[in-house]
Amino acid sequence: MSERDYALGVSALLVIDGWFHLLTPEPVLVRYAPDYVLFGRNGGLPIWVHRFMGALLVVGGAYTFASYYNDPERASQDPVVQFFVRVVAPLGIGLILAGLGANIWTTHSKDA
In whole angstroms, what is the distance from residue 107 CA to residue 94 CA?
20
Tens digit of pLDDT for each residue in 14-41?
999 899 889 999 888 887 777 777 777 7
Cα 35–Cα 40–Cα 41 angle in degrees, nearest 5: 95
- Confidence bin at 112 (pLDDT 50/70/90): low
- State the pTM of this model: 0.81
pLDDT tens digit sequence for 44-63 = 788 888 899 999 999 999 99
In the chain, domain spans: 3-111
